[in-house]
Structure 1
Amino acid sequence: MEAQQLDVGYTLSERMRLPRATLRRLGYLGLIYLLGLGVMVPFFGTTAETVLLPLIPTVVGVAFTFELMDSAAGMGFGTALAPLLFILGYDPLAVTPVLLISESITGIISGGVHHELKNASFSVRPVNAETKTMLLMGSVGAVASIVSIMLTYFALSLSESYIETYVAALVLAMGLIGIIRARVVTTIEYKPRRLVAFAALAGINKGIGGGGYGPVVTLGQILSGVYEKSAIAIASVAESIVSIVGVLTFVTLSTQGVSIDLVLLPSIFTGGFLAAIGAPYLVRVIPNQVGATSSRCTPSRSAYSA
């Protein structure tokens, strides 16, 4: 794949250098940010203070930090940010919908920048391996997120303590799996069927707490034989698809009397948007020694395209 060739075929200085055309296209993203922030004005709040100063510096900072991790490693935004915001005193209905809205936009931005910087290659004509995997993960995850949102916030109406406990347990489990994965050397073949189970679990996590999608999808792809840097880009775009469906589900629930608080939206969107642009550059520059030198996680093009 092109991402693998870039990782092993270019020097560090060559990976750090970006063409002027790429820099120009990245600069246009600033206009998208301003447009998005403008669209959010009606949701800032009803008081003059929230309209004039809608950004919460602390929330902007943590959103930037965790989205940087998410877009650079495929995980960390919702998984880590959701429990932190719970600790800061925000309830799930002020966190989960906002994370979904923000990730709907930043996931597409991050995936587009990953594509522009050749960390991955998405193609519609013809549909290539990365695009097939992204559509599979996104569609299965979207269906699972709808089911989990309906059950959690409407049908079963689970209490905040249950939701927060589940999110905390998920964070601990993903950390443990990551440690084990880093220490255990195994030979992995590309198995697309395995991706379905990971996508379903990830979608359930996304619907319940707004996070827990990236770790499952990224680790699931790697354990299924997808190249690491491509897996990160795929996870970003697939998460955007799932988030969009989740947002539409919450909009539907709001018409049934479920109250949603969007006060955190401008702050989380700002931090996440900035990080979604910068993180793919870090992925491009930092070499992936495991993916570049070991066959245990790097399937052949023919196997990955199967």
Structure 2
Amino acid sequence: MRNKKKISPIVGFILVLKIVIIGYLVYLLKGAIETNTINFDSTFFLFILAGFFAQLIDGALGMAYGVSCTTLLLSLGIPPKLASASVHTSEIFTTGVSGLSHIRFNNLDKKLFFKIVFTGVIGASLGAYLLADLLDGSLVKPYISFYLVFLGGYLVYKAIRKKSDAKPKTKYAPVLALFGGLLDAIGGGGWGPIVTSNLLSQGHNPRKTIGTVNTAEFFVTYFATVVFIFILGVQHLDIVLGLVIGGVISAPVGAYVASKVNPKLLMIMVGTLVVITSTWSLISLLLK
């Protein structure tokens, strides 16, 4: 008789939380369609494309979904707090599929996962509350971007230099996740660049790090979104739906890419992406 493969508790928890949020979104969509308050015009397809490419990069490299989508929404005149809320709502679906895909491709380090998920959730929930009710998220963005430019450069340097046999550090991973979750909610993105980049700089395996951070991101995003919904409600449902459709389609592809790409090349790609996105953010802020 064949042994049935048990469902991981992490997988089970992701599925339960996804069923709850899917039910809530279906309820909102039904109301929006009945009142004709949702638009499926050409801009809607732009949101689908944005979600597809942003999640493809995020699933493969462990970052940039929030940064890419938030930048697009801000350029279309969406206020920062509503842009962040829309991105986080869509990320519940994309990160859920991405996390399940990473688990399927054996990209998860369970020990590291439990070190970052709880403090990440606390930081993101606090950040969502501050942004939705008290704080202007644009105030801290220049400082985060400046820091990430140097961190990305260090990742590239570390990837091309001689490999060290030193054991990866996990001592400060919970604090790092707290900081990453907080800034992700406030800035509309940043969990991946901050957490993934720092863990890689400490010597962690790129494939496992990207898969673990992506899986933890589902929980971080979920609870931040609960706070946003509680305070702001769900607005711009067409944006959320477009980002969800594009992201869910590309999430398994990104996870598969992460499982196959050479770790050294993966680290160089992550570092380069961090430098490019952070530099672009700085330039955009200076040109305002």
Fold shared, TM-score > 0.5 on shorter chain: yes
Who is 2:92 aligned against? Answer: 104
Deviations 1:201-253 (A, max 9, x none): 11111221331001111112212332100111111111111111111212332
Give how far 1:192 is off: 1.3
Give how far 1:165 is off: 4.8
In the TM superposition, 1:185-224 aligns within 5 A as: 185=161, 187=164, 188-224=166-202
Structure 1 pair 151–204 and aligned structure 2 pair: CA distance change class (3 A):
same
Amino acid aligned to 1:270: I
Question: 148, 153, 165: which is aligned to 1:174?
Answer: 148
Deviations 1:185-205 (A, max 9, x none): 474532211212221111111
Who is 1:183 aligned against? Answer: 157
In the TM superposition, 1:52-67 aligns within 5 A as: 56-67=44-55
Structure 1 pair 46–214 and aligned structure 2 pair: CA distance change class (3 A):
farther
Distance 1:55 1:290 in 2: 35
Q: Report the aligned-residue RMSD.
A: 2.9
Structure 1 pair 194–138 and aligned structure 2 pair: CA distance change class (3 A):
same
Structure 1 pair 275–92 and aligned structure 2 pair: CA distance change class (3 A):
same
Deviations 1:135-164 (A, max 9, x none): 22111111112222222322xx234xxx23
Amino acid aligned to 1:209: G
Counterpart secondary structure, 1:94 = helix
Question: 39, 42, 58: which is aligned to 1:70?
Answer: 58
- Give the unaligned 5+ runs of structure 1: 1-28, 122-129, 293-306
Give how far 1:134 is off: 1.2
Who is 2:135 aligned against? Answer: 158
Residue 238 in 1 paired to residue 216 in 2? yes
Structure 1 pair 266–54 and aligned structure 2 pair: CA distance change class (3 A):
farther
Residue 250 in 1 paired to residue 224 in 2? no
Give how far 1:108 is off: 2.2
Deviations 1:23-82 (A, max 9, x none): xxxxxx9xx9xx777455146567537266697111211221111111100000002321
Distance 1:68 1:115 in 2: 17
In the TM superposition, 1:94-133 aligns within 5 A as: 94-118=82-106, 120-121=107-108, 130-133=109-112
8 Å contact kept, 1:44–1:262: no
Give how far 1:262 is off: 3.3
Amino acid aligned to 1:60: I
Who is 1:274 aligned against? Answer: 249
Amino acid aligned to 1:267: G
Structure 1 pair 38–212 and aligned structure 2 pair: CA distance change class (3 A):
same
Structure 1 pair 262–134 and aligned structure 2 pair: CA distance change class (3 A):
farther
Q: Which has the larger radius of gyration?
A: 1
Amino acid aligned to 1:93: K
Who is 2:262 aligned against? Answer: 287
Who is 2:122 aligned against? Answer: 143
Amino acid aligned to 2:247: G
Determine what percentage of the aligned residue pairs are the same residue. Answer: 21
Distance 1:239 1:50 in 2: 28
Who is 1:19 aligned against? Answer: none
Counterpart secondary structure, 1:48 = coil
Amino acid aligned to 2:135: L
Give how far 1:88 is off: 1.9
Normalized per residue, the structure richer in helix is 2
Q: TM-score, normalised by structure 2?
A: 0.73
Distance 2:225 2:180 in 1: 16
Counterpart secondary structure, 1:56 = helix
Residue 81 in 1 paired to residue 60 in 2? no
* Higher mean C-alpha displacement, 131-140 vs 176-185: 176-185
Aligned residues: 242
